[in-house]
Amino acid sequence: MGFESDETFSQEKDDTPNMQSLVPPSDGFREGGYGWVCVACTFLMNAHTWGINAYLNETQAYGVFLAFYLSSDIFPGTSSLEYAFVGGLSISCAMLIAPLATYLCHRLSHRFVLNVGTLLEALSLIASSFVKANWQLFLSQGACFGFGMGLCFCGSVGITSHWFKKRRSLVNGIASSGSGIGGLVYSLAVGKMIPEFGFPWAMRTLGILCFVINLTCANLLRIPSYSAIAAKASPFRLSIILRLDYLLLLGWAFLSALGYVVLLFSLPSFSIAIGLTQQQGSLASALLNLGQAIGRPAVGLLSDHYGRVHVALIASLLTGILSLVLWTFVESLGLTYFFSIAVGLFAGTLLAAAAPLAAEVVGLQDLGTALGMLWFILCPPTTVAEAIALQLRGSSTESKSYLRVQLFVGFMYIGSALCLAFLWFELRRKRTLALS
Protein backbone atom coordinates (compact mmCIF):
# COMPACT_ATOMS: atom_id res chain seq x y z
CA MET A 1 0.00 0.00 0.00
CA GLY A 2 2.73 2.49 0.96
CA PHE A 3 5.60 3.66 -1.15
CA GLU A 4 8.82 1.87 -0.61
CA SER A 5 12.11 3.61 0.15
CA ASP A 6 13.63 3.23 -3.30
CA GLU A 7 13.31 6.17 -5.64
CA THR A 8 12.94 4.36 -8.94
CA PHE A 9 9.67 6.05 -9.87
CA SER A 10 10.31 9.51 -8.40
CA GLN A 11 13.94 10.22 -9.20
CA GLU A 12 14.78 12.09 -12.39
CA LYS A 13 17.41 10.77 -14.76
CA ASP A 14 20.81 12.21 -14.09
CA ASP A 15 22.62 13.92 -16.95
CA THR A 16 26.07 13.18 -15.59
CA PRO A 17 27.85 10.35 -17.44
CA ASN A 18 28.76 7.27 -15.43
CA MET A 19 26.78 8.48 -12.42
CA GLN A 20 25.30 5.04 -11.91
CA SER A 21 28.78 3.60 -11.54
CA LEU A 22 29.29 5.74 -8.47
CA VAL A 23 26.32 4.19 -6.67
CA PRO A 24 26.45 0.51 -5.75
CA PRO A 25 23.58 -1.71 -6.89
CA SER A 26 20.76 -2.15 -4.39
CA ASP A 27 21.76 -5.73 -3.63
CA GLY A 28 25.25 -4.48 -2.68
CA PHE A 29 23.99 -1.73 -0.39
CA ARG A 30 25.07 -2.34 3.19
CA GLU A 31 22.40 -1.11 5.58
CA GLY A 32 23.66 0.63 8.70
CA GLY A 33 27.22 -0.10 9.74
CA TYR A 34 28.96 3.18 10.54
CA GLY A 35 25.59 4.78 9.86
CA TRP A 36 24.55 4.00 13.44
CA VAL A 37 27.40 6.20 14.67
CA CYS A 38 26.00 8.93 12.43
CA VAL A 39 22.53 8.39 13.91
CA ALA A 40 23.92 8.84 17.43
CA CYS A 41 25.88 11.94 16.43
CA THR A 42 22.90 13.51 14.69
CA PHE A 43 20.75 12.73 17.74
CA LEU A 44 23.21 14.57 19.99
CA MET A 45 23.54 17.51 17.60
CA ASN A 46 19.77 17.88 17.45
CA ALA A 47 19.67 17.84 21.25
CA HIS A 48 22.23 20.64 21.35
CA THR A 49 20.69 22.74 18.57
CA TRP A 50 16.90 22.36 18.32
CA GLY A 51 16.72 21.05 21.89
CA ILE A 52 18.52 24.12 23.23
CA ASN A 53 16.40 26.37 21.03
CA ALA A 54 13.20 24.78 22.36
CA TYR A 55 14.35 25.60 25.87
CA LEU A 56 15.27 29.16 24.90
CA ASN A 57 11.89 29.70 23.25
CA GLU A 58 10.04 28.30 26.23
CA THR A 59 11.83 30.56 28.70
CA GLN A 60 11.54 33.60 26.46
CA ALA A 61 7.81 33.03 26.30
CA TYR A 62 7.09 33.54 29.96
CA GLY A 63 9.65 32.06 32.26
CA VAL A 64 13.19 32.24 33.54
CA PHE A 65 14.82 34.45 30.90
CA LEU A 66 11.91 36.87 30.68
CA ALA A 67 11.68 37.12 34.45
CA PHE A 68 15.42 37.77 34.63
CA TYR A 69 15.36 40.42 31.92
CA LEU A 70 12.38 42.25 33.43
CA SER A 71 13.49 42.06 37.07
CA SER A 72 16.99 43.34 36.24
CA ASP A 73 15.52 46.03 33.93
CA ILE A 74 18.48 45.75 31.58
CA PHE A 75 16.22 46.18 28.53
CA PRO A 76 13.88 49.03 29.48
CA GLY A 77 10.92 49.45 27.14
CA THR A 78 11.31 46.02 25.50
CA SER A 79 7.89 44.42 25.01
CA SER A 80 6.90 40.75 25.18
CA LEU A 81 6.32 40.89 21.41
CA GLU A 82 9.95 41.88 20.87
CA TYR A 83 11.09 39.01 23.08
CA ALA A 84 8.94 36.70 20.97
CA PHE A 85 10.85 37.83 17.88
CA VAL A 86 14.11 36.68 19.48
CA GLY A 87 12.89 33.09 19.42
CA GLY A 88 11.41 33.47 15.96
CA LEU A 89 14.60 35.13 14.73
CA SER A 90 16.75 32.17 15.76
CA ILE A 91 14.59 29.71 13.83
CA SER A 92 14.21 31.96 10.78
CA CYS A 93 17.98 32.58 10.62
CA ALA A 94 18.52 28.82 10.72
CA MET A 95 16.16 28.46 7.75
CA LEU A 96 17.58 31.49 5.94
CA ILE A 97 21.11 30.10 5.85
CA ALA A 98 19.98 26.67 4.60
CA PRO A 99 20.73 27.20 0.87
CA LEU A 100 24.20 28.54 1.68
CA ALA A 101 24.85 25.65 4.06
CA THR A 102 23.73 23.17 1.39
CA TYR A 103 25.92 24.82 -1.23
CA LEU A 104 28.96 24.78 1.07
CA CYS A 105 28.35 21.11 1.89
CA HIS A 106 28.23 20.43 -1.83
CA ARG A 107 31.32 22.47 -2.74
CA LEU A 108 33.48 22.05 0.37
CA SER A 109 32.43 19.48 2.96
CA HIS A 110 29.83 18.69 5.59
CA ARG A 111 32.58 18.77 8.22
CA PHE A 112 33.50 22.38 7.42
CA VAL A 113 29.86 23.51 7.67
CA LEU A 114 29.31 21.61 10.93
CA ASN A 115 32.43 23.01 12.58
CA VAL A 116 31.58 26.60 11.65
CA GLY A 117 28.04 26.09 12.95
CA THR A 118 29.35 24.64 16.21
CA LEU A 119 31.61 27.64 16.74
CA LEU A 120 28.85 30.17 16.04
CA GLU A 121 26.36 28.46 18.37
CA ALA A 122 28.81 28.24 21.26
CA LEU A 123 29.83 31.88 20.81
CA SER A 124 26.19 32.97 20.76
CA LEU A 125 25.37 31.27 24.07
CA ILE A 126 28.47 32.61 25.80
CA ALA A 127 27.89 36.10 24.37
CA SER A 128 24.31 35.99 25.72
CA SER A 129 25.72 35.97 29.24
CA PHE A 130 27.24 39.43 28.66
CA VAL A 131 24.32 41.21 26.95
CA LYS A 132 23.42 44.68 28.23
CA ALA A 133 21.01 45.88 25.51
CA ASN A 134 18.15 44.28 23.62
CA TRP A 135 19.89 44.62 20.24
CA GLN A 136 22.76 42.56 21.64
CA LEU A 137 20.25 39.89 22.65
CA PHE A 138 18.78 39.89 19.13
CA LEU A 139 22.25 39.45 17.64
CA SER A 140 23.53 36.80 20.05
CA GLN A 141 20.55 34.69 21.11
CA GLY A 142 18.66 35.39 17.91
CA ALA A 143 20.78 35.77 14.77
CA CYS A 144 24.10 34.20 15.78
CA PHE A 145 22.50 31.21 17.49
CA GLY A 146 20.16 30.76 14.54
CA PHE A 147 22.95 30.79 11.95
CA GLY A 148 24.96 28.32 14.02
CA MET A 149 21.96 26.06 14.50
CA GLY A 150 21.14 26.23 10.79
CA LEU A 151 24.66 25.26 9.73
CA CYS A 152 24.73 22.36 12.21
CA PHE A 153 21.26 21.17 11.23
CA CYS A 154 21.61 21.48 7.44
CA GLY A 155 25.06 19.92 7.56
CA SER A 156 23.84 16.85 9.44
CA VAL A 157 20.17 16.28 8.58
CA GLY A 158 20.65 14.35 5.34
CA ILE A 159 23.63 12.22 6.33
CA THR A 160 21.79 9.26 7.91
CA SER A 161 19.63 8.85 4.78
CA HIS A 162 22.75 7.84 2.82
CA TRP A 163 23.39 4.91 5.18
CA PHE A 164 19.90 3.39 5.29
CA LYS A 165 17.13 2.36 2.90
CA LYS A 166 14.70 0.02 4.65
CA ARG A 167 14.99 1.83 7.98
CA ARG A 168 15.51 5.34 6.63
CA SER A 169 12.45 6.85 8.33
CA LEU A 170 13.15 5.06 11.61
CA VAL A 171 16.72 6.32 11.92
CA ASN A 172 15.69 9.85 10.95
CA GLY A 173 13.01 9.66 13.62
CA ILE A 174 15.55 8.51 16.21
CA ALA A 175 17.97 11.27 15.22
CA SER A 176 15.34 14.01 15.28
CA SER A 177 14.04 12.85 18.66
CA GLY A 178 17.22 14.32 20.08
CA SER A 179 15.57 17.75 19.94
CA GLY A 180 12.77 16.53 22.21
CA ILE A 181 15.21 14.93 24.64
CA GLY A 182 17.41 18.02 24.59
CA GLY A 183 14.48 20.32 25.24
CA LEU A 184 13.30 18.12 28.10
CA VAL A 185 16.73 17.77 29.75
CA TYR A 186 17.77 21.39 29.44
CA SER A 187 14.39 22.80 30.47
CA LEU A 188 14.95 21.00 33.78
CA ALA A 189 18.74 21.27 34.13
CA VAL A 190 19.23 24.94 33.28
CA GLY A 191 16.24 25.84 35.41
CA LYS A 192 18.23 24.45 38.34
CA MET A 193 21.54 25.96 37.21
CA ILE A 194 20.34 29.58 37.12
CA PRO A 195 19.42 29.75 40.85
CA GLU A 196 22.63 27.89 41.78
CA PHE A 197 25.21 29.60 39.55
CA GLY A 198 23.42 32.67 38.23
CA PHE A 199 22.19 33.42 34.72
CA PRO A 200 25.58 34.36 33.16
CA TRP A 201 27.38 31.20 34.23
CA ALA A 202 24.41 29.01 33.31
CA MET A 203 24.62 30.35 29.76
CA ARG A 204 28.41 29.95 29.63
CA THR A 205 28.15 26.37 30.86
CA LEU A 206 25.53 25.69 28.22
CA GLY A 207 27.79 27.17 25.54
CA ILE A 208 30.76 25.04 26.61
CA LEU A 209 28.66 21.86 26.65
CA CYS A 210 27.30 22.57 23.18
CA PHE A 211 30.77 23.30 21.84
CA VAL A 212 32.34 20.07 23.14
CA ILE A 213 29.50 17.76 22.13
CA ASN A 214 28.75 19.31 18.73
CA LEU A 215 32.44 19.54 17.83
CA THR A 216 32.93 15.85 18.59
CA CYS A 217 29.86 14.84 16.59
CA ALA A 218 30.72 17.15 13.69
CA ASN A 219 34.03 15.38 13.18
CA LEU A 220 32.55 11.89 13.48
CA LEU A 221 29.77 12.42 10.94
CA ARG A 222 30.43 11.37 7.37
CA ILE A 223 28.56 9.94 4.40
CA PRO A 224 29.55 6.76 2.46
CA SER A 225 32.34 7.33 -0.02
CA TYR A 226 30.24 6.52 -3.09
CA SER A 227 27.53 8.95 -1.95
CA ALA A 228 30.14 11.65 -1.32
CA ILE A 229 31.56 11.21 -4.84
CA ALA A 230 28.07 11.25 -6.35
CA ALA A 231 27.19 14.40 -4.42
CA LYS A 232 30.29 16.15 -5.74
CA ALA A 233 29.56 15.05 -9.31
CA SER A 234 25.84 15.88 -9.35
CA PRO A 235 24.81 19.45 -10.24
CA PHE A 236 23.28 21.82 -7.71
CA ARG A 237 19.85 21.88 -9.42
CA LEU A 238 17.27 24.44 -8.39
CA SER A 239 14.89 23.30 -11.15
CA ILE A 240 13.34 20.74 -8.79
CA ILE A 241 11.36 23.56 -7.16
CA LEU A 242 9.19 23.71 -10.31
CA ARG A 243 7.97 20.13 -9.88
CA LEU A 244 4.41 19.69 -8.61
CA ASP A 245 5.29 16.90 -6.19
CA TYR A 246 8.07 18.98 -4.65
CA LEU A 247 5.81 22.05 -4.39
CA LEU A 248 3.26 19.94 -2.49
CA LEU A 249 6.06 18.81 -0.17
CA LEU A 250 6.95 22.47 0.43
CA GLY A 251 3.30 23.26 1.16
CA TRP A 252 3.20 20.53 3.81
CA ALA A 253 6.39 21.81 5.39
CA PHE A 254 5.29 25.47 5.31
CA LEU A 255 1.94 24.86 7.02
CA SER A 256 3.41 22.35 9.49
CA ALA A 257 6.08 24.84 10.53
CA LEU A 258 3.50 27.56 11.17
CA GLY A 259 1.38 25.27 13.32
CA TYR A 260 4.33 23.71 15.13
CA VAL A 261 6.03 26.94 16.22
CA VAL A 262 2.75 28.51 17.36
CA LEU A 263 1.94 25.35 19.35
CA LEU A 264 5.40 25.16 20.90
CA PHE A 265 5.35 28.82 21.84
CA SER A 266 1.76 28.97 23.12
CA LEU A 267 1.36 25.84 25.23
CA PRO A 268 3.33 27.00 28.32
CA SER A 269 1.62 30.41 28.49
CA PHE A 270 -1.77 28.79 27.77
CA SER A 271 -1.24 26.60 30.82
CA ILE A 272 -0.75 29.68 32.98
CA ALA A 273 -3.78 31.39 31.40
CA ILE A 274 -6.09 28.57 32.58
CA GLY A 275 -4.84 28.89 36.14
CA LEU A 276 -1.85 26.57 36.35
CA THR A 277 1.39 27.66 37.99
CA GLN A 278 4.54 28.57 36.09
CA GLN A 279 6.14 25.30 37.18
CA GLN A 280 3.13 23.31 35.92
CA GLY A 281 3.28 25.20 32.62
CA SER A 282 6.96 24.32 32.33
CA LEU A 283 6.14 20.66 32.95
CA ALA A 284 3.50 20.78 30.20
CA SER A 285 6.20 21.97 27.79
CA ALA A 286 8.54 19.24 29.04
CA LEU A 287 5.85 16.62 28.39
CA LEU A 288 5.43 17.97 24.86
CA ASN A 289 9.15 17.40 24.33
CA LEU A 290 8.86 13.93 25.84
CA GLY A 291 6.03 13.15 23.44
CA GLN A 292 8.22 14.20 20.53
CA ALA A 293 11.09 12.06 21.78
CA ILE A 294 8.76 9.03 21.77
CA GLY A 295 6.69 9.92 18.73
CA ARG A 296 9.37 10.68 16.16
CA PRO A 297 11.03 7.24 16.22
CA ALA A 298 7.59 5.60 16.36
CA VAL A 299 6.38 7.58 13.35
CA GLY A 300 9.62 6.67 11.57
CA LEU A 301 9.18 2.96 12.29
CA LEU A 302 5.59 3.01 11.05
CA SER A 303 6.65 4.99 7.96
CA ASP A 304 9.13 2.32 6.91
CA HIS A 305 6.39 -0.33 7.09
CA TYR A 306 3.27 1.48 5.88
CA GLY A 307 4.58 4.24 3.61
CA ARG A 308 6.25 7.54 4.43
CA VAL A 309 3.64 9.76 2.82
CA HIS A 310 0.75 7.86 4.43
CA VAL A 311 2.11 8.01 7.95
CA ALA A 312 3.18 11.66 7.76
CA LEU A 313 -0.30 12.49 6.45
CA ILE A 314 -1.98 10.68 9.35
CA ALA A 315 0.36 12.29 11.91
CA SER A 316 -0.40 15.79 10.55
CA LEU A 317 -4.14 15.08 10.50
CA LEU A 318 -4.12 13.75 14.07
CA THR A 319 -2.26 16.85 15.29
CA GLY A 320 -4.90 19.06 13.71
CA ILE A 321 -7.75 17.02 15.17
CA LEU A 322 -6.21 17.02 18.66
CA SER A 323 -5.82 20.79 18.50
CA LEU A 324 -9.39 21.40 17.34
CA VAL A 325 -11.23 18.72 19.31
CA LEU A 326 -9.20 18.33 22.51
CA TRP A 327 -7.10 21.46 23.11
CA THR A 328 -10.09 23.78 22.78
CA PHE A 329 -11.71 22.06 25.79
CA VAL A 330 -8.64 21.80 28.04
CA GLU A 331 -9.22 23.51 31.38
CA SER A 332 -7.62 21.20 33.97
CA LEU A 333 -4.13 20.09 34.94
CA GLY A 334 -4.62 16.45 33.98
CA LEU A 335 -6.09 17.23 30.58
CA THR A 336 -3.30 19.74 29.90
CA TYR A 337 -0.67 17.10 30.57
CA PHE A 338 -2.54 14.50 28.51
CA PHE A 339 -2.83 16.88 25.55
CA SER A 340 0.84 17.87 25.84
CA ILE A 341 2.17 14.35 25.53
CA ALA A 342 -0.49 13.23 23.00
CA VAL A 343 0.07 16.11 20.60
CA GLY A 344 3.82 15.77 21.08
CA LEU A 345 3.65 12.28 19.58
CA PHE A 346 2.64 13.71 16.19
CA ALA A 347 3.30 17.48 16.09
CA GLY A 348 7.06 17.26 15.46
CA THR A 349 6.80 14.97 12.45
CA LEU A 350 8.23 17.67 10.16
CA LEU A 351 11.84 17.40 11.38
CA ALA A 352 11.72 13.60 11.38
CA ALA A 353 9.98 13.10 8.04
CA ALA A 354 11.42 15.92 5.89
CA ALA A 355 14.57 14.07 4.77
CA PRO A 356 12.89 10.69 4.02
CA LEU A 357 10.02 12.39 2.19
CA ALA A 358 12.39 14.57 0.18
CA ALA A 359 14.36 11.45 -0.79
CA GLU A 360 11.06 9.84 -1.78
CA VAL A 361 10.20 12.76 -4.05
CA VAL A 362 13.53 13.78 -5.64
CA GLY A 363 15.94 10.92 -4.88
CA LEU A 364 19.21 10.86 -2.96
CA GLN A 365 21.29 12.70 -5.56
CA ASP A 366 19.15 15.84 -5.27
CA LEU A 367 18.42 15.41 -1.56
CA GLY A 368 20.81 18.17 -0.46
CA THR A 369 19.32 20.72 -2.85
CA ALA A 370 15.76 19.70 -1.98
CA LEU A 371 16.33 20.01 1.76
CA GLY A 372 18.23 23.28 1.44
CA MET A 373 15.34 24.86 -0.46
CA LEU A 374 12.77 23.34 1.89
CA TRP A 375 14.41 24.84 4.97
CA PHE A 376 14.79 28.19 3.19
CA ILE A 377 11.06 28.27 2.37
CA LEU A 378 10.37 27.87 6.10
CA CYS A 379 12.11 31.17 6.89
CA PRO A 380 8.99 33.39 6.59
CA PRO A 381 6.62 31.22 8.68
CA THR A 382 9.15 30.61 11.43
CA THR A 383 9.94 34.33 11.60
CA VAL A 384 6.38 35.43 12.22
CA ALA A 385 4.82 32.37 13.91
CA GLU A 386 5.47 33.48 17.50
CA ALA A 387 4.29 37.02 16.73
CA ILE A 388 1.15 35.54 15.15
CA ALA A 389 0.54 33.55 18.33
CA LEU A 390 0.76 36.69 20.44
CA GLN A 391 -1.57 38.63 18.17
CA LEU A 392 -4.17 35.84 18.07
CA ARG A 393 -4.46 35.67 21.83
CA GLY A 394 -7.49 37.31 23.37
CA SER A 395 -7.43 39.41 26.50
CA SER A 396 -6.92 37.72 29.86
CA THR A 397 -10.53 38.52 30.77
CA GLU A 398 -11.90 36.29 27.98
CA SER A 399 -12.95 32.78 28.97
CA LYS A 400 -11.44 31.33 25.79
CA SER A 401 -8.52 33.69 25.25
CA TYR A 402 -6.53 31.06 23.31
CA LEU A 403 -9.37 29.84 21.08
CA ARG A 404 -8.09 31.62 17.95
CA VAL A 405 -4.60 30.22 18.60
CA GLN A 406 -5.98 26.70 18.95
CA LEU A 407 -8.04 27.00 15.76
CA PHE A 408 -5.04 28.38 13.88
CA VAL A 409 -2.82 25.46 14.90
CA GLY A 410 -5.52 22.92 14.03
CA PHE A 411 -6.25 24.33 10.58
CA MET A 412 -2.55 24.66 9.72
CA TYR A 413 -1.99 20.97 10.40
CA ILE A 414 -5.12 19.90 8.53
CA GLY A 415 -3.97 22.02 5.58
CA SER A 416 -0.58 20.30 5.69
CA ALA A 417 -2.31 16.91 5.69
CA LEU A 418 -4.22 17.92 2.55
CA CYS A 419 -0.92 18.77 0.84
CA LEU A 420 0.34 15.26 1.58
CA ALA A 421 -2.90 13.75 0.29
CA PHE A 422 -2.37 15.51 -3.05
CA LEU A 423 1.30 14.49 -2.97
CA TRP A 424 0.29 10.85 -2.56
CA PHE A 425 -1.94 11.06 -5.64
CA GLU A 426 0.81 12.77 -7.63
CA LEU A 427 3.44 10.15 -6.70
CA ARG A 428 0.96 7.40 -7.49
CA ARG A 429 0.30 8.97 -10.91
CA LYS A 430 4.05 9.17 -11.63
CA ARG A 431 4.53 5.58 -10.52
CA THR A 432 1.74 4.42 -12.82
CA LEU A 433 3.30 6.28 -15.74
CA ALA A 434 6.72 4.78 -14.97
CA LEU A 435 5.31 1.24 -14.95
CA SER A 436 3.26 1.67 -18.14
- Averaged pLDDT for residues 97-123: 87
pTM (2 d.p.): 0.75
User: If pLDDT is split at 50, 70 and 90, which confidence band does 84 have?
Assistant: low
Q: What is the pLDDT of residues 403-429, one digit of tens each?
A: 899 999 999 999 999 999 999 988 888
User: Is 3 within the bounds of a domain?
Assistant: no
Is the predicted pLDDT of residue 434 greater than 90, yes or no? no
Q: For residue 306, give the CATH number of its domain.
A: 1.20.1250.20
Q: Which domain holds residue 255?
A: 31-435
User: Is 423 within the bounds of a domain?
Assistant: yes
% of the chain exceeding 70 in pLDDT: 80
User: Is 231 within the bounds of a domain?
Assistant: yes
Q: What is the pLDDT of residue 21?
A: 36
Is the predicted pLDDT of residue 232 greater than 60, yes or no? no
Q: What is the pLDDT of residue 433?
A: 81
- Averaged pLDDT for residues 67-83: 57
% of the chain exceeding 90 in pLDDT: 19
User: Is 303 within the bounds of a domain?
Assistant: yes
Q: What is the pLDDT of residues 335-354, one digit of tens each?
A: 999 999 999 889 888 877 88
User: Is 13 within the bounds of a domain?
Assistant: no
Q: What is the pLDDT of residue 116?
A: 93
Q: What is the pLDDT of residue 88?
A: 65
Residue 104 in contact with residue 147, Cβ under 8 Å? no
Q: What is the pLDDT of residues 292-315, one digit of tens each?
A: 888 888 888 888 888 888 899 999
User: Is 63 within the bounds of a domain?
Assistant: yes
- Averaged pLDDT for residues 150-170: 82
From the number of C-beta atoms within 10 Å of its C-beta (0-12, 13-18, 19+), residue 189 rates as middle
- How many Å apart are CA 296 and CA 267, to the nearest integer? 19
User: Is 12 within the bounds of a domain?
Assistant: no
Is the predicted pLDDT of residue 319 greater than 90, yes or no? yes
Number of domains in the chain: 1
User: Is 24 within the bounds of a domain?
Assistant: no
Inter-CA distances, 18 with 26, 116, 173, 257, 400, Å: 17, 33, 33, 39, 62
